[in-house]
Amino acid sequence: HIYIKPLNSRIFFFLVIAKNWNQNRCTSQWSFFSVIEVKMTAPSMKERQVCWGARDDYWKCLDENIDDASKCKKLRTIFESSCPQQWIKYFDKRRDYLKFKEKFEAGQFEPSERTATS
């Protein structure tokens, strides 16, 4: 189990706890493992620019390789190490949406059988 306690708007303490079961008595015991301090700060302008550049390079590679991610692994690694995790999730969803929109507007979108019958 992980418990999160906000200290303020930028610092959180994560309390990692494991539950140990005593199989003979069906009782449980909680063990304290660690407390980790994580500082939550917004990326600087330079960090944002590095992130956007890594994203653009990765997306360009995907475009050039017809979305074959196996040919862009190195750029994906750079992208993931240059951006906050939440941003990566957002950018991945954004790309999927933009690709869908592009196909839809070009008349190339074909609904699946499940979508067509519902």
- H/E run at residue 95: helix 85-105
Neighbouring CB atoms inside 10 A of 103's CB total 12
Paired with 31 in beta bridges are 18
The model's pTM is 0.60
Per-residue pLDDT of the chain (118 residues), as tens digits, is 445 555 544 544 444 444 445 555 555 555 554 555 555 678 999 999 999 999 999 999 999 999 899 999 999 999 999 999 999 999 999 999 999 999 999 888 777 666 555 5
Secondary structure letter of residue 69 according to DSSP: G
- Choose among 29, 30, 35: nearest CA to 16: 35
Q: Cβ distance 12 to 4 under 8 Å?
A: yes
Q: Cβ distance 15 to 3 under 8 Å?
A: yes
> And the tokens for 91?
């950018």
Secondary structure letter of residue 105 according to DSSP: H
